[in-house]
Structure 1
Amino acid sequence: MNNTINKSQLFFLIIKTQIGIGLLSLPSKIQSSAKGDAWISVLVAGAAIQLLLIVYWQLLKKFPNQTLREITVRVFGAYMGKTLNLIYYVFFILIAGYASTLYVQLIQTWMLSMTPGWVLLLLIIGTGLYLALENLRVIARFFVLTSVLFGLLILISFLNFNNEVQVSNILPIGESGFAQILKGSEKTFFSMLGFEVILYFFAQVQSNHKDLFRVASFANCFVTLFYTYFVFICLIGFSPKALEQVNEPVLYILKGLSYTLFDRMDLIFLSIWIIPMTATIVSYLCVAGKSLTANQSSYRRLVWISGLLVYLIGWYLSTLENIELFSNWLLYGYLIMIAPLPVLLWLVSFLLKNNEKVGST
């Protein structure tokens, strides 16, 4: 089947969706709460996601070869199930629109200050739409092909160690206290959204459920360590006061680097980072389509509609002076959709009879 993927491709689908714009500002956000223990907050957030992945795995085992769209209908019935799927669709579109707005603001701040926002928005969403219209195998192959950029980003980050670093900024370990570390992990959790796409991709992977759980766990481990590393180098590269005052410390930490052949490493880093950011849009456009239909022709029409809605949402948000209130509402609402609701689906599934055979009916 052309629309199936292997477990390696699933790994890259997950990490490409999770790793996006949130990383660039994450160190300053969680440092305000967890101080020098911010890197521990990232590890705690990764552990929380792993617990959710266990629930996802148990749920998907009960309904083999089915996506969340089919599971909600099976558990809650046609009316409520389809209503929930529509709500999921709305949230996926809102997340994509919100992310697009953040991407445009970042690019205008650092690179293209004179370019109209609607043009950048059109380019970002247009590129994402072009890829999202393809089947999942094509999308996965593109994600695998561009995964080499993560290695390049890490190599660029090593240049930071040419600057003066202060390891004492993270000492003594645990000084912030458990409550502040948890507060920082909450902010980190929102920056690591994207793992929920496995609820729509698992059914199209050519492997057994045990192997799929290992892949999802490995992807979560990779993303957690990736985020922890960048938070760590920012903590030792900036003084605590300086880190609180910069919006994108990951970029600022590279801004001062200059070499004979390369200048402004921050812009080189950001130019590469645009690809993972766009990949996140692709994934959410894809799962938005899959949340309402399984038919390929209907899916393509829905993706076109979704792309238009994402553009309109992104354009509207860009006209607002402050989107923090919308951001908080969206993220906490979305948290309910990806955490308590799947847990509820899993618990209610025990009340169904013969649900272990649903995949073969």
Structure 2
Amino acid sequence: MNISITRSQLFFTIIKTQIGIGLLSLPSETQSSAKGDAWISVLVAGCLIQLLLLIYWALFRRFPNDTLRQMIMRMFGSYLGKGLNLIYYAFFIMIAGYACTLYVRLIQDWMLPLTPTWVLLLLIIATGMYLAVENLRVIARFFVLSSVMFIILLLLSLLTFSNEIHISNIMPVGHSGAGQILHGVRQTFFSMLGFEVILVFFSQVDGRPRGLLRISSFSNIMVTLFYAYFVLICLINFNSKALEQVNEPVLFLFKGFTNQLFDGLDLIFLTIWIIPMTATIISYLSMAGYSLAASQSTYRVIVRISGILVYIIGMYLTTVENLDPFSTWLESGYLLMIAVIPLLMWLMSFVIKNSGNRGAA
């Protein structure tokens, strides 16, 4: 599939995949360990993600013309390569199923408590599949157009500064200690998942390697600051006890804001937020397709099959009362797939003949 996208389209693809439901609960989760320094944990997590982006960039410099699927086949051989690609495929649809479950629970808690689970799952996945079956360029264009939603969300967030704020909640800076801040980094890191989209789409972006590193780094900076900003405004609006009792403090932040012009700002925010959440599903369905498919026709079949599997996973997970064990298992697998294996592949690349070079760095 020789469909290429521009560097700016890659930028918005990364952002739209990374920013999703994790933001809504992140302030309470990170604050539970890092307290008023939770925003520092977000910045440190962004630095760790940047290190992974450097590994991805170094890997694709070694094999600039290969997709992730092709590199795996080259390095691990036919049998092991096919097996590992299949594992990546399963990994992507498991994340999509888990994300769908979280989305459904959020929508039922805040907006549609009487709507059956199977209906919400069907709407979310069907919407994601509708766009995911298209080629990467079409998907990227949608992400670019829908990114205006982030501007709207930022403008809405400014209204919250009319509430009573307490700067003392984050003072003095660093009072939680390095250990607690690092513990908050772990929670933040998994709320910012989605940057691994670069692994799948990097080779299909026009431009030289250095330019691609620059644009992926810039997207990481933007996402990190976006998350840190919302964590910070929650910290100065809620005390630590309130954050411990609230599952989605970002929504509660807007719920408490009402005036003559705006009412139910939390529902307005959530309605807009459905678009970024759906974009995440689209990305993971697309990554699942690209992890196995060698042609556009095969890709579309795989995406459709993936949508059915994601629906089954979502239906199962919605029956599970506590998702913590599954979340812990998924986090361990996530570290393996997006950190350990790419690092291993980069080290292996030094003993495998380079197949070419897209351009000088």
| Paired residues for 1:77-226 under 5 Å | 77-226=77-226
Structure-to-structure mapping, 1:274-285, within 5 angstroms: 274-285=274-285
Matched, 1:304 2:304: yes
User: Following TM superposition, by how much is the alpha carbon of 1:326 offset from its aligned partner in structure 2, in angstroms?
Assistant: 0.7
Q: What is the alpha-carbon distance in structure 2 between the residues aligned to residue 356 and residue 212 of structure 1?
A: 19
8 Å contact from structure 2 (residues 285, 303) kept in 1: yes
Q: How far is the alpha carbon of 1:320 from its aligned partner? A: 1.1
Residue type at the aligned position of 1:341: I
Deviation (angstroms), 1:261: 3.1
Counterpart residue number, 1:321: 321
CA contact (8 A) 1:2 1:137 kept: no
Residue 351 of structure 1 deviates from its aligned partner by 1.2
Does 1:245 find its partner at 2:245?
yes
AA at the equivalent of 2:56: Y
Please tell me the residue identity of whatever aligns with 1:180. Answer: Q
- Separation (CA, whole Å) in 1 of partners of 2:39 and 2:139: 32
Question: Where does the alignment leave 5 or more consecutive residues of structure 2 unmatched?
Answer: none
- Shift of residue 294 of structure 1? 2.0
Cα displacement (A) at 1:256:
1.4
Write the letter of the residue equivalent to 1:173.
V
2: CA distance, partners of 1:290 / 1:221:
26
Q: Structure 1 residue 359: deviation in Å? A: 7.3
Q: Which residue of 2 aligns with 1:357?
A: 356
Q: How does 1:35-74 map to 2 (within 5 A)?
A: 35-74=35-74
Alignment-derived partner of residue 268 in structure 1? 268
- How many Å apart are 1:2 and its aligned residue? 8.0
Cα distance in 2 for partners of 1:152, 1:59 equals 37
Q: Deviations over 1:188-220 (max 9, x none)?
A: 000111111111111111111110100100000
Shift of residue 143, structure 1, vs aligned partner = 0.4
Q: Is the 8 A contact 1:65 1:202 kept in 2?
A: no
Output one character per residue of 1:136-192: Cα deviation in whole Å (capped at 9) or x when no partner: 111011000010110100110111101000011001111111111111011100011
Any conservation in 2 of the 1:41–1:188 contact (CA below 8 Å)? yes
Partner deviation per Cα, 1:53-107 (whole Å, 9 max, x = no partner) = 0000000010012111111111111111111111010010000000000000000
Structure 1, residues 105-145: CA drift from partner, whole Å, max 9, x if none?
Answer: 00000000010011000000000000000011110110000
Deviation at 1:356, TM superposition (A): 4.7
Checking the alignment, whether the CA contact within 8 Å between 1:33 and 1:183 is kept in structure 2 is yes
Q: Distance in 1 between matches of 2:130 and 2:355?
A: 38
TM-score by length of 2: 0.98
Q: List alignment gaps of at least 5 residues for structure 1.
A: none
Between the aligned partners of 2:214 and 2:238, the Cα distance in structure 1 is: 36
Deviations 1:21-69 (A, max 9, x none): 0000000000000000000000000000000000000000100121111
Is the 1:2–1:135 Cα contact (8 Å) retained in structure 2? no
Q: Which amino acid aligns with 2:276?
A: P
**Is contact 1:62–1:355 with CA below 8 Å preserved after alignment?**
yes
Which residue in the other structure is 1:75 paired with? 75
SS at match of 1:357: coil
Offset of 1:8 from its aligned partner?
A: 0.3
Quote the residue 2:24 is aligned against.
24
One-letter code aligned to 2:216: A
Equivalent residue for 1:228? Answer: 228
SS in 2 for 1:5: coil
Amino acid of the structure 2 residue aligned with 1:96: A
Instruction: Give the counterpart letter for 1:324 in structure 2.
Output: D
Cα deviation for residue 357 of structure 1 reads 2.6
Distance in 2 between the 1:256 and 1:189 partners?
28
Amino acid at match of 2:41: S
Indicate if the aligned counterparts of 2:65 and 2:356 stay in contact, CA closer than 8 A. Answer: no
Could you tell me how far apart the structure 1 residues matched to 2:137 and 2:355 are? 28
Name the SS for the 1:350 alignment partner.
helix
Deviating beyond 4 angstroms after TM superposition, the runs of 4 or more aligned structure 1 residues are none
Counterparts of 1:2 and 1:306, CA distance in 2? 22
* Cα offset, 1:262, TM superposition: 2.2
Q: 2: CA distance between counterparts of 1:70 and 1:196?
A: 16
Shift of 1:348: 0.9
CA RMSD of aligned residues (A): 1.3
**CA-to-partner distance for each residue in 1:236-274, whole Å, 9 max, x for gaps?**
000111111100000001101112232110000000000
Give the aligned length.
359
Indicate if the aligned counterparts of 2:61 and 2:357 stay in contact, CA closer than 8 A.
no
